[in-house]
Chain A
Amino acid sequence: MAGKGDYILKTEGLTKEFKGFTAVDSVDLTVRRHTIHALIGPNGAGKTTVFNLLTKFLTPTRGTIAFNGRDITRAKPAEIARLGVIRSFQISAVFPHMTALENVRVALQPRLGTTFHFWRPDSCLRVLDARAEELLDMVGLSSFAHDEVADLPYGRKRALEIATTLACEPELMLLDEPTQGMGREDVDRITRLIRQVAEGRTVLMVEHNLGVVSALCDRITVLQRGAVLTEGDYETVAADPRVKEAYMGKAA
């Protein structure tokens, strides 16, 4: 089964209609294992909707989704996560009233198998602290481990989100605009971080910052009005006149 080994994620004819409006229109997307794959396109192209379909936060109207050769079209969001597909969100997805360490630990907890144990003291979670600290260290947050997350700056929250995602040991990470709303310095840090964590994993990301896309991504799929406009590496896509047109409008 060479095909199964090559592609970690494959959609066929993926379609989502909202009351007569087709947000995603028969998208065939294949994500190769161990690559960083970007999903770009102008506002309203359906990028986030595709993400929500892939992670089952929305149910597709038509089409199929296969992860590692297994049909996951009808699976539930939490199931997908346990299979190893972990997503981030456009707005920072953290647990604001917990400390940074607790945030990461929540993602580590299922491996202890005690998540329903309401009779045990939470001190039994300390065995996870070492791994949680390691992950925080990796994203440069060691010094914030015991701070409540609501007080962290935005860029740090995004970094924490990545640490939390990594804690799940995902095979496929789906990052929804990881550098959105960030200053230059944070963008550089997150870009480096994504490259680092993509080692040995597969990343599918929605990203607006083309600088980040060109620096990171092996393959790019351009969406327009819910459909795939073109696909290829950065040079191919950047040279495609249709892509320029989609972003800038028709040149006069």
Chain B
Amino acid sequence: MIRPALYLGALALLILAPFVLYPVFLMKVLCFALFACAFNLILGYGGLLSFGHAAFFGGAAYVCGHALEVWGLPTPVGILLATLAAGVLGVLVGALAIRRQGIYFAMITLALAQMCYFFFITAPFTGGENGLQGVPRGSLFGLVNLQNDLNMYYFVLAIFLIGYFIVARTVHSPFGQVLRAIRDNEPRAVSLGYDVDRYKLLAFVLSAALAGLAGATKTVVFQLASLTDAHWHMSGEVVLMTLLGGLGTIPGPAIGAALIVTLQNKLATGPLSAWVPVVLGVIFVACVIAFRRGVVGEIQAFLRRSF
């Protein structure tokens, strides 16, 4: 059928891409794509707008940087540890935030993320304004040297695919069905006997952990963990990526992330370099007003109408 063919095609493109495009740019795209897919799990499928996902992305970036640079842990272990840390942070933030809905949920997540941000500014192990620089990329169990950009690319691609698979599986699982029901009609889900808060919390924690996986991987790619990763701009950007690509579609956020990162890179060197936030703002408005389903959502809707 069409779907497996599309996925195989996309996979082939991803495998061949570093021979055409700059691998570091592609790795950046993959990290943000994973971040957006993780975010989509809670916004698109949980119906909860978190405005604090930078805390998980940035928090994991620091944990990973610290683990590799100071503790000298092997790279995969550092990434795994950072993912776990983001999950634990997700439990703490989620347990407080899911008690409220809508704007209040967004505000609680934002407030807690800002607290994390100021913690990262003042804490001794984050390097303050300088961040953690020169994080060693290390190797894969001493076998594959990750200093090599091409090796690193395939490592990042593997991480992205694992994360993407976890999101896709979660959405199409017994748990995913319950989550969809809660998003569709929460009082009804309660009246059928579901403790909706526990399902929302699990979705939130999964989303936070995968956002952490993305942040930790980004640290290894750029050998840098900085305040930018934990800034609320990052929380806003991931909303934009998800909306642009297609909220509640599985590939949508990844495509949205690719578009935004590409745009940022192109604009950064051109005459519009000072205007990047304005351009992103215009895209955001256009997206919300004109094509709310996002790129993938609109294509799906078009295909459904036409066939």
Question: Do A and B actually bind?
Answer: yes
Q: Which of B245-283 contact A (CB under 8 A)?
A: none
Q: Is the CB of A81 within 8 A of B192?
A: yes
The answer to the question of A98 belonging to the interface, with a C-beta cut-off of 8 Å to chain B, is: yes
> If A96-B184, A98-B181 touch, does A118 touch B191 (CB 8 Å cutoff)?
no
- Interface status of B118 (Cβ within 8 A of chain A): no
Contact yes or no, B193 A110, CB < 8 A: yes
Beta-carbon nearest neighbor of B198 in chain A: A116
A82 near B193 (CB under 8 angstroms)?
yes
Return chain A residues, CB-CB under 8 Å to B181.
95, 98, 103, 106
Determine if A96 and B174 form an interchain contact, defined as CB atoms under 8 angstroms apart.
no
Q: A78-B194, A110-B193, A168-B192 are in contact. Are A117 and B174 (CB under 8 A)?
A: yes
How far is the CB of B22 from the nearest CB of chain A, in Å?
A: 35
Contacts of B206 in A (CB 8 A): 118
Pairwise interchain contact A94-B174, C-beta atoms closer than 8 A? no
Select one of B174, B185, B190, B196 contacting A109, CB under 8 A.
Answer: B174
| Contacts known (A110-B193, A115-B194, A118-B206); A125 close to B174, Cβ less than 8 A | yes
Give every chain A residue within 8 A of B191 (Cβ-Cβ).
55, 77, 81, 86-89, 93
B175: A residues at CB distance < 8 A: 114-118
In the complex, whether B233 has a CB less than 8 A from a CB of chain A is no
**Cβ of B173 under 8 Å from chain A:** yes
Given A57-B187, A94-B185, A96-B184, A121–B172 Cβ distance below 8 Å? yes
Q: Which residue of A lies closest to B206 (CB)?
A: A118
Least distance between A97 CB and chain B CB atoms (Å): 5
Tell me if B100 is interfacial: C-beta within 8 Å of chain A: no
Interface presence of A102 (CB below 8 A): yes
A132 CB, nearest partner CB in chain B, Å: 12
Q: Which residues of A contact B196 (CB under 8 A)?
A: 78
Given A78-B195, A119-B169, A121-B169: A95 and B188 interface contact (C-beta under 8 Å): yes
Flag whether B199 is at the interface (Cβ < 8 A): yes
A125 lies within 8 A of B177 (CB):
yes
In whole angstroms, what is the CA distance A58 to B180 when docked?
Answer: 25
CB distance A94 to B172 under 8 Å?
Answer: no
Chain B residues bordering chain A, tally (CB within 8 A): 27
A107 at the interface (CB under 8 A from B): yes
A102-B177 contact, Cβ under 8 Å, with A93-B191, A96-B184 = yes
> In the complex, A82 Cα to B176 Cα: how many Å?
21
Residue with the greatest number of chain A CB neighbours at <10 A, chosen from B172, B177, B199: B177
Closest residue of chain A to B167, judged by CB? A118
Instruction: Establish whether residues A116 and B192, one from each chain, have CB atoms under 8 Å apart when the complex forms.
Output: no
Q: Are the CB atoms of B192 and A105 closer together than 8 Å? A: no
The reply on A184 being an interface residue by CB < 8 A is no
Once the chains bind, are A97 and B180 in contact (CB under 8 Å)? yes
Is the beta-carbon distance between B187 and A114 smaller than 8 angstroms? no
User: Smallest CB-CB separation from B179: which chain A residue?
Assistant: A118
For residue A242, give the distance in angstroms from its CB to the closest CB of chain B. 33
Query: A95 touches which one: B169, B185, B202 (CB < 8 A)?
Result: B185
Determine whether the beta carbon of B202 is less than 8 Å from that of A118.
yes
Contacts of A235 in B (CB 8 A): none
Does A124 touch B at the CB level, under 8 Å? yes
Interface: A250 (CB within 8 A): no
Alpha-carbon distance A109/B189, docked complex (angstroms): 12
CB distance from A109 to the nearest CB of B (A): 6
Establish whether residues B193 and A122, one from each chain, have CB atoms under 8 Å apart when the complex forms: no
Whether B174 pairs with A124 at a CB distance below 8 angstroms is yes
Q: Other than the known A87-B191, A89-B188, A115-B174, what 5 A-B pairs have Cβ atoms closer than 8 Å?
A: A78-B195, A88-B191, A118-B170, A118-B173, A121-B173
Using a CB–CB distance below 8 Å, which chain B residues touch chain A? Answer: 169-170, 172-178, 180-181, 184-185, 187-196, 198-199, 202, 206
Return 10 A-B CB contacts under 8 Å, by A number. Answer: A57-B187, A77-B191, A94-B185, A95-B180, A116-B202, A117-B173, A118-B174, A119-B169, A121-B173, A122-B176
